[in-house]
Amino acid sequence: MKRKLLMIGNGMAGVRCIEEILKRNKSLFEITIIGDEPYPNYNRIMLSNVLQGKTTFDEININDWNWYIENQITLLTNEKVTKISPAEKIVETEKGKMLLYDELILATGSSAFILPIPGNNLQGVIDFRTIQDTELMIDYAKKYKKAVVIGGGLLGLEAARGLIDRGMEVHVVHLLPTLMEQQLDATAAKMLKKDLEAQGMNFLMEKQTISINGTNRVEGISFSDGTSLECDLVVMAVGIRPNISLAKEAGIDANRAIIVNDIMQTSEPSIYAVGECAEHNGTTYGLVAPLYEQGIVLAEHITGNSTKGYKGSILSTQLKVSGCDLFSGGLIHEGEDMQAIIVNDQFAGLYKKVIVKDEKVVGIVLYGDASDGNRLFNMLKNETNIKEYTSASILHKSGEDAGEAFVLSMSANDTVCGCNGVTKGTIVQSILEQELTTFEHVKNCTKAGASCGKCKGMVESILAATLGDTFDPNAAKPGMCGCTALSRDEVINEIEEKGLQTPREVRIVLGFENEEGCSKCRPALNYYLRMMYPNDYQDDKSSRFVNERMEGNIQNDGSFSIVPRMYGGVTTGDELIKLGEVANKFNVPLVKVTGASRVGLYGVKKEDVPKIWKELGMRSGYAYSKSLRNVKSCVGNRFCRFGTQDSLGLGIELEKAIEMVDTPHKMKMGVTGCPRNCAEVLTKDFGVICVENGFQLYFGGNGGTAVRECDLLTTVTTEEEVVHMAKAYVQYYRETGIYGERTAPWVERTGVEVIKEVLLNKELENALVEKFNQAKSTYEEAWSQALKNQLDLYEVIRK
């Protein structure tokens, strides 16, 4: 019979521990998780990116609802535990539930510290810990203009950056003379402050807040020096307090947090604690890496495996603070018997300090370039003797390949990817067992480098050290596929020079190993040829992915979703009635408003897809294709009091102008009616911000895992110019992008200034628009024909 494992808390540390338990033994426990938020497990660290508009709430989920179902985990959300009875092994909730357990894990996390000052309970005073907090800040930013963030640490700066991006004027109030004093020394902190001021952030240093002023809601704050500041919103980011009241009331030993031993066991033998609520050897931790280490130790112990136990963690921070690259680990200030190796390149904005004691690294502070962070931090943890290293290049061995020499000295347990907790041993084992040969292979298999990508160089060094002479560093260079060694540009040049007209002709003439092609080159060649010969080339539907062939997204159960075009999210009563009638006729199990402001039909049977399209008579929303997916827009000056232009109308016009035309990868655009940026356009492939005197145009953004903020292209005065420039931009991307490459990496590869130089050349711009219009006309014709012959088309696809 399975033992009952109950966990209080549904956060990152606790659920990671459950993941580790499932890896070791999926059949050992009957697992129940209780969370006080109404959400599945999400990445709290990424809330700042949501606030800044770089990503969405859905995209920061770590484990969605299905994960709990698939692992047979009972999840109780929006439920608070009120009592733990260790003697009876019972937990009670505020809703009256009585839950038995054999083992209990406390992962209750922490709460934001709210300054005990007058006015701290006024409306408009919030902390920054949860999705609800983030939603509240986004909502306030739409209504108010002036914000104060109390606290100049990492969280406070990220909150400030997000509110600035939401259109607010922001002051950061900090009690001490330097920012992020726990992670940066005075020099690095001064550089950070200067960079953030250049981004529009205001600072009030060495200021002690004594009251928050207002009647019902915030109107301002006052300081101990007699000065004050008007504001509409106050964000508290001054620290956290571990949530320990449940444990203390149950008689479990606690100091600042719940006291645990090396196997994360509390004073009650059947109760454990992990995460921010746990105190080990007098220390509590708030960063993700040590909390994950605790979870692994507990998983080993609770599943009956031997473990050396948790011995504490050396902390490091490697994050993008509002676009400012930094890393720190260990000590940040020199003490007695210590020396510092310092590189301070003021021209390039780079600062690197390595603190050394007894020929060993004991501290690291990097600002402006954190690429050496992982390497130096592993040297710190391993107490590497640096006598053989030269300090001139920040501790690379003289006359050797530093990367490869370093990975050879690493142990199997050393961390390579801090973001995803991937060790050298995991990577080496995967390389050998899965026959991995490139960084991309390793990334896809182990997740190393899948987040910030800063460990790519180290991963490639591990590949070189593991594979020896068989490792080919050029194998990862973008080519067409495994059928040919020719790159994309070489294939395009050969097609033009030899006048090749069909994919098969390309493969035969250019000597592809497989004359029939593969799943990578078939769709790519089909795209390139249609892009090059829009009037003459006949689109090969069989070379497209199944989603494109079926004009619907395949779902995890083999059914499909259908998403009709709904320009700007605007619809009519007749359209909604038609959608309802079709959904009922074909027994569609789910009708949902999508994230792109359209109505989607989900769970459609494969054989019903073409029939539904025919009955709807609506244009496809291309929610599955490599083309423009949608143009997100706010209502603009049609309704909003802040709107400067008709962003909704422009968004619809832009969507109609660009839709259907194939691009190397999917594209998303946005138009926002004012600089408050409600449509989150600065992480779109092409974004428009409406201002009083016209339209600011941005390009190359991405809001996914590898977030990239847009670059400013230019400002134009008319809607016609916006559409004209968007067409030129899309066509240039079509002509120079690699199939499967989003605009963000395309911009990085091509160069921001190169793209601007092309698009801002009126002659080149006009030529690109002419070619785009020519291509668009062929797609319009093809769609009309496909709509007329939808059922016949399905028969061809089915066969």
Same domain, 136 and 211: yes
pLDDT at 521: 84
% of the chain surpassing 70 pLDDT: 90
User: Within a domain: residue 115?
Assistant: no
Query: What is the total count of domains within the chain?
Result: 5
Same domain, 182 and 230: yes
CA proximity to 438, closest of 488, 393, 476: 476
Same domain, 170 and 266: no
Task: Please determine, for residue 763, whether its predicted confidence score (pLDDT) is greater than 50.
Answer: yes
Same domain, 173 and 199: yes
Cβ atoms of 699 and 713 within 8 Å: the answer is yes
Task: Please determine, for residue 795, whether its predicted confidence score (pLDDT) is greater than 60.
Answer: no
pLDDT at 505: 87
- Domain-terminating residue out of 302, 326, 350: 302
Q: Which domain holds residue 510?
A: 488-544
Quickly state the pLDDT bin for 62 (edges 50, 70, 90).
confident
Look up the CATH number of the domain holding residue 552: 3.90.480.10
Task: Please determine, for residue 110, whether its predicted confidence score (pLDDT) is greater than 90.
Answer: yes
Same domain, 676 and 770: yes
Same domain, 507 and 644: no
H helices of 41-130, in order, are 47-51, 65-70
Mean of per-residue pLDDT scores for the chain:
85
- Domain-terminating residue out of 625, 657, 689: 625
> Six-digit token pair at 304?
């009956």
pLDDT at 453: 54
Same domain, 557 and 632: no
User: Within a domain: residue 254?
Assistant: yes
**287: exposed, middle or buried (C-beta count within 10 Å: 0-12, 13-18, 19+)?**
middle
User: Within a domain: residue 576?
Assistant: yes
Average the pLDDT over 34-56 and give the result. 84
Task: Please determine, for residue 373, whether its predicted confidence score (pLDDT) is greater than 50.
Answer: yes
User: Within a domain: residue 64?
Assistant: yes
Beta bridge mates, 390: 396
pLDDT in tens, 397-452: 444 444 555 666 677 777 787 666 778 888 888 888 777 887 777 876 776 765 54
**116: exposed, middle or buried (C-beta count within 10 Å: 0-12, 13-18, 19+)?**
exposed
User: Within a domain: residue 567?
Assistant: yes
Residue written as token pair 């306030």: 140
Look up the CATH number of the domain holding residue 133: 3.50.50.60
Pairing between β-strand 233-236 and β-strand 125-127 as defined by DSSP bridges: parallel
Average the pLDDT over 202-228 and give the result. 95
User: Within a domain: residue 469?
Assistant: no
Look up the CATH number of the domain holding residue 780: 3.30.413.10
Task: Please determine, for residue 207, whether its predicted confidence score (pLDDT) is greater than 80.
Answer: yes
Residue 67: C-alpha distances to residues 82, 256, 441, 543 (Å): 27, 34, 25, 33
Beta-strand runs (E) in 564-627: 590-593, 599-604
- Min mean pLDDT across 324-333, 464-473, 567-576, 666-675 is at 464-473
Task: Please determine, for residue 668, whether its predicted confidence score (pLDDT) is greater than 60.
Answer: yes
Same domain, 665 and 599: no
% of the chain surpassing 90 pLDDT: 43
pLDDT at 255: 95
Q: Comparing 693 with 722, which gets the higher pLDDT?
A: 722
Average the pLDDT over 133-157 and give the result. 92
pLDDT at 790: 46
Same domain, 16 and 141: no
- Domain-terminating residue out of 560, 591, 625: 625
Quickly state the pLDDT bin for 374 (edges 50, 70, 90).
confident
Same domain, 666 and 762: yes
pLDDT at 739: 86
Task: Please determine, for residue 770, whether its predicted confidence score (pLDDT) is greater than 70.
Answer: yes
- Taking each helix axis as running N to C, give the angle between helix 456-467 and helix 439-446, from 0 to 180 degrees, rounded to the nearest 10: 110
Same domain, 778 and 640: yes
Quickly state the pLDDT bin for 473 (edges 50, 70, 90).
low
pLDDT in tens, 492-534: 888 888 888 888 888 888 888 777 777 778 888 988 998 898 8
Q: Comparing 186 with 542, which gets the higher pLDDT?
A: 186
Cβ atoms of 511 and 480 within 8 Å: the answer is no
H or E stretch at 339? strand 339-345
> Six-digit token pair at 313?
């963690």
Pairing between β-strand 3-8 and β-strand 278-280 as defined by DSSP bridges: unpaired
Average the pLDDT over 87-107 and give the result. 95
User: Within a domain: residue 531?
Assistant: yes
pLDDT at 383: 85
575/565 Cα distance (integer angstroms): 11
Same domain, 129 and 84: no
Quickly state the pLDDT bin for 476 (edges 50, 70, 90).
low
Quickly state the pLDDT bin for 36 (edges 50, 70, 90).
very high
445/331 Cα distance (integer angstroms): 34
User: Within a domain: residue 358?
Assistant: no
